[in-house]
């Protein structure tokens, strides 16, 4: 299969982009796990508030087998919630430090622990991100932030031959577009086309935020309630455009930027900054994780743009080594 770099540059350029992307993903994953560990150390996490605010809400609308599994986890944690929370925080600190290690074997161990712990949290802490309830909109954090932790760790464990950003298909480059495609389908659910269904996403977020943040979210709640068809059409259209133009060997930076803008909107108005200002947020939520997952496509799109800029030197300041590199 011919590589795009046959027309736009050398394989050395692709290798350079790949190294940069790997470095960013490693550091981002380590920092995010470290943030999660500190959030897990909040005073409320050592009380029954963790059970009632974080674990019990995942039971709503779940199929019986998943509700039974999550109920079992609640019963297990409840008698000694403080001690369990020390363990949760310790695991997350350990993952962050392992990922930051200069030794490859410790980093790989950190990735495997990240996958294992992430799967457990996605199952028992996030109820599979609500994907089986029919209401797992990206606006509110679907399909679950910890699933994207797992996804990023899997990408970093892939062998080099799976990291061909120039190929017709690349899981590393196109993974974010797949999530956007899923989000588009979720946003098409009939319940989001009426005022009650769509506004409830933002209202639920506002109801859990500190009083100073509520006035920021309130206008969005009102607009979604009054014009649900218009608002949801704009959301679906933005998600669909991001999916279509961020996918494939030539991702468009404008589409990635459009998706980034929607993530910022969702993070503020639907996810409440991951509830980090409530004292009960366990992670920054899905928006920052999806932004990290979009980075490989962004980096590759930037690489593809360089040869076109070199072809029009009047638009850029020439670099002394540009002709040799191309």
pLDDT in the model for residue 307: 59
User: From CA 11, how far away is CA 161, in angstroms rounded?
Assistant: 13
Inform me whether the pLDDT recorded for 28 exceeds 60: yes
- Measured torsion, CA atoms of residues 257, 195, 138, 184, in degrees rounded to the nearest 10: -70
Name the percent of the chain lying above pLDDT 90: 75
Does residue 320 lie within any of the structural domains? no
Query: Residues near 303 by Cβ (< 8 Å), separated by ≥ 6?
Result: 8, 9, 13, 14, 17, 165
Does pTM top 0.85 for this prediction? Answer: yes
Inform me whether the pLDDT recorded for 3 exceeds 80: no
Contact 291, 263 (CB under 8 A): yes
3-state secondary structure 77-132: HHHHHHHHHHHHHHHHHHHHHHHCCCCHHHHHHHHHHHHHHHHHHHHHHCHHHHCC
Average pLDDT over the chain reads: 89
Give the number of domains in the chain. Answer: 1
pLDDT in the model for residue 326: 31
Does residue 3 lie within any of the structural domains? no
Inform me whether the pLDDT recorded for 315 exceeds 70: no
Does residue 201 lie within any of the structural domains? yes
Q: Mean of the pLDDT values across residues 57-72?
A: 88
Please report which confidence band the pLDDT of residue 306 belongs to, taking 50, 70 and 90 as the band edges: confident
Inform me whether the pLDDT recorded for 321 exceeds 80: no
Inform me whether the pLDDT recorded for 177 exceeds 50: yes
Inform me whether the pLDDT recorded for 8 exceeds 80: no
Inform me whether the pLDDT recorded for 44 exceeds 70: yes
CA distances to 169, 198, 248, 301, 307 from 4, in Å: 12, 42, 11, 12, 12
Does residue 322 lie within any of the structural domains? no
pLDDT in the model for residue 60: 82
Inform me whether the pLDDT recorded for 292 exceeds 90: yes
User: From CA 187, how far away is CA 148, in angstroms rounded?
Assistant: 19
Contact 167, 249 (CB under 8 A): yes
State which residues form the domain around 306: 9-311
User: From CA 8, how far away is CA 11, in angstroms rounded?
Assistant: 10
**Terminal CA-to-CA distance of the chain, rounded, Å?**
21
pLDDT in the model for residue 62: 86
Does residue 4 lie within any of the structural domains? no
pLDDT in the model for residue 10: 52
| Token duo for residue 110 | 């950190």
Does residue 137 lie within any of the structural domains? yes
Could you give the residue ranges of the DSSP H alpha helices within 41-80?
49-50, 64-77
Does residue 124 lie within any of the structural domains? yes
Does residue 325 lie within any of the structural domains? no
């Amino acid at each position: 299969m011919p590589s795009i770099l046959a027309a736009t540059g050398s394989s050395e350029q692709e290798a350079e982009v790949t190294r940069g992307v790997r470095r960013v993903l490693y550091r981002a994953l380590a920092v995010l796990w470290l943030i999660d560990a500190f959030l897990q150390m909040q005073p409320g996490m050592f009380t029954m508030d963790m059970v009632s605010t974080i674990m019990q809400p995942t039971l709503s609308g779940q199929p019986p087998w998943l509700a039974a599994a999550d109920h079992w986890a609640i019963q297990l944690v409840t008698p000694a919630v403080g001690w369990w929370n020390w363990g949760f925080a310790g695991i997350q600190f350990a993952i962050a430090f392992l990922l930051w290690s200069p030794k490859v074997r410790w980093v790989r161990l950190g990735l495997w622990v990240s996958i294992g712990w992430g799967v457990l949290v996605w199952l028992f802490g996030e109820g599979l991100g609500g994907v089986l309830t029919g209401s797992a909109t990206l606006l509110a954090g679907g399909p679950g932030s910890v699933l994207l932790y797992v996804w990023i760790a899997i990408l970093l464990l892939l062998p080099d031959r799976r990291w061909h950003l120039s190929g017709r298909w690349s899981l590393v480059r196109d993974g974010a577009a797949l999530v956007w495609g899923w989000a588009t389908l979720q946003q098409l659910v009939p319940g989001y086309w009426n005022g009650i269904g769509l506004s409830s996403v933002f209202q639920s977020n506002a109801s859990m935020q500190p009083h100073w943040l509520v006035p920021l979210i309130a206008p969005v709640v009102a607009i979604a309630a009054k014009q649900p068809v218009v608002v949801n059409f704009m959301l679906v259209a933005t998600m669909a455009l991001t999916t279509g133009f961020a996918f494939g060997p030539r991702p468009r930076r404008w589409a990635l930027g459009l998706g980034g803008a929607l993530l910022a909107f969702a993070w503020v108005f639907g996810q409440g900054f991951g509830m980090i200002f409530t004292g009960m947020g366990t992670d920054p939520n899905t928006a920052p994780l999806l932004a990290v997952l979009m980075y490989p496509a962004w980096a590759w799109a930037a690489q593809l743009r360089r040869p076109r800029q070199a072809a029009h030197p009047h638009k850029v300041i020439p670099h002394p080594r540009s002709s040799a590199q191309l």
